[in-house]
Chains A and B, each alone.
Chain A
Amino acid sequence: MSALASPRTMLTLLVVGLLATFPLWGSAYFVGRVFSPALFLGIAALSLAFLAGYGGMISLAQMTIFGLAGYGYGVLTVTHGQPWWVGVIGGLAAATLAAFLFGLVAVRTRGIYFLMITLALGMVVYALANQNRSIFGGHTGILGIRAPEVSGHLLTERALFYELCLAVALASYLGVRYLLRTPFGLTLQAVRDNPRRLAALGYHVALHRLAAFTFAGFLAACGGLLGVWYNGAISPTTIDVTRLINVLVMAVIGGLASVEGAFLGALAFVLVTNFASSFTERFNTVIGLTFLAIVLFSPEGLSGLVARPVELLRRQSRARQRARDELDELSVQQAIGHQDE
């Protein structure tokens, strides 16, 4: 195990190092148009993977919450002329509160009903945003949204924005990884596995699901702020049904029960959309085919594909260890045999 742990740490350091220095050696297009959106969309996908893979709740409302953070920021900074930090706090608070309220409605249902209720909630918010002019700006939405300016630098400057996305994504990733090992996270996985048994042990199942849904909402809201800065505007299109489903596609492509997978899935999605749309108008078909191929050939998604060689290596080293143990045993037996003679 220890022999494998160190290459793993090395690999992690290498990946983080490469990602952090990417603006220095990567192309401007990849830094600005591929990796940055993949990171903030990945955060939204992560919030879904966390709910679906570890809590058994497939939520279609994650992009709605993502969008509401953007609306909150836009309304406060553009419509009401508030400073950026008021927009950040207000946007995060509004979206997290919305997640809490959605959760109140949804957490008592399971499976397909949970999915349908979150979809319905998303559609309600979409219709509201599309028709309400006074707050949401109707069909046009809110334009001219400016990212915060810190010591003379707009946070949307290409390299700066990339590093910001990377920092928030890393924090979300580590936060979720940590959370899953706490009593709260373990309980959540137990909710997924067997809610009846958990209730029989004296746990309040609905409360746990609500807390998890609210936390996931906060994650999606963090991604949503980055998203609205990137786009400089927000409109109902950001939260229409296609977008709600896109994030599910990202999470499934990456591997639903995988924290890393959410980002892999988002990256694959952004790549396919960008490149397929440059040579064909039917890029949705390409995405659909990619999705099909992955679900058919690697049900654990891209993260499953990546994990496979690692698992193979581990199995080999285990087999070697076993062979060594057997050899040891054999020589012990031989030694005993010699004694008998």
Chain B
Amino acid sequence: MVTVQATPAQAIGHALELQGVSRRFGGLWAVEDVSLSLAPGERRAIIGPNGAGKTTLFNLIAGDLRPTSGTIRFYGDDITRLPPHERIRLGIARTYQTPLVFPRLSVLDNLYLAARGVRPWRMSLRRPRASDPEIVRARQLAEQVELGHAIHALAGALAHGQQRQLELGMTLASNPRLLLLDEPAAGLSPAERELLTGLLLGLDSAMTILLVEHDMDVAFRVARQVTVMHEGRVIAQGTPGEVSADEVVQQVYLGVRHG
């Protein structure tokens, strides 16, 4: 329909596209004029020192905050003003910095509720059977996030790393097209980190993943593209190799300034 010849990138379309997105808190620009685009299936990490605006950017994409200016598109649709639950329905799912699980319910029940949340009849008074599709799905998710051995344990009794695995499983229950991971490796032991990295690498390659991460090791292994933020702006973008060789990035991380 459009007479202008589309470039290949536009023909495929972006999974997520931010154009000039800014967010101001009083006099502080937490995020300032950020533009970035993710191709479907891309794995992108956002890194940067504390206060760089990473989490704010995340909240803007997930809908927990509205941008002061700029537009956010998801597979071509403008979602800038959509509330969070409608973004979830479109296929955007996120995890939080502190794992949000239901501590006094079992692992299986947590996953079951997550699997059920996206379907009708949530108020059903019929007891679930082992053959119910959501129970089957919950067990499958438990296996996928390596909690198959602990499905009857209470979520609150799990180790921190296992709670993260559980939260990841709950997030995957809705089969998201875009997965937002907010510091998935924070507070994990090296062994737990290894397990989590393995889980992330094993996810469906069609799923687009955007993660905020302090841990370079995890970020560089999961992501092929890295965006570096500093004081609300994007200061560098490229492959992990390019970014770690970048002079500006090194200065920001080492705290060296031009004298």
Contacts and interface: CB of A to CB of B under 8 A. Distances in A.
B105 A189 contact: yes
Contacts of A203: 113, 117, 122
A190 B102 contact: yes
Contacts of A184: 123-125
Interface of A: 178-179, 181-184, 186-187, 189-190, 192-194, 196-204, 207-208, 211
Given A182-B127, A190-B113, A194-B102, 14 more contacts: A181-B127, A182-B125, A182-B126, A183-B128, A186-B109, A186-B112, A193-B105, A194-B101, A196-B100, A200-B85, A200-B100, A202-B117, A202-B118, A207-B123
B81 interface: no
Contacts of B174: 201-202
21 contacts: A178-B127, A183-B113, A183-B123, A183-B128, A184-B123, A189-B109, A194-B100, A194-B102, A196-B100, A197-B101, A200-B88, A200-B94, A201-B118, A201-B170, A201-B173, A202-B88, A202-B117, A202-B118, A202-B174, A204-B122, A207-B123
Contacts of B104: 189, 192-193
Contacts of A178: 127
Nearest to A193: B102
Give chain B's interface residue range (CB within 8 Å of chain A): 20 to 34
Interface of B: 84-85, 88-89, 94, 100-105, 109-110, 112-114, 116-118, 121-128, 170, 173-174
B100 A179 contact: no
Contact of A179 (B102, B121, B125): B125
Nearest to B114: A201
Which 7 residue pairs across A and B have the least CB separation, nearest first?
A: A201-B117, A193-B102, A197-B100, A202-B117, A190-B102, A183-B124, A182-B125
A187 B113 contact: yes
A193 B103 contact: yes
Given A189-B104, A189-B105, A203-B117, A182 B85 contact: no
Residue in A182, A187, A203 whose Cβ sees the most chain B Cβ within 10 Å? A187
Contacts of A187: 113, 122-123
A202 B101 contact: no
Contacts of A201: 88, 113-114, 117-118, 170, 173-174
Contacts of B126: 182-183
B118 A186 contact: no
Contacts of A208: 123
Nearest to A192: B104
Nearest to A207: B123
Nearest to A208: B123
Nearest to B104: A193
Contacts of A204: 122
A197 B96 CA distance: 10
B85 A202 contact: yes
Contacts of B123: 183-184, 187, 207-208, 211
A179 B103 CA distance: 20
A198 B118 contact: no
Contact of B89 (A179, A190, A198, A202): A202
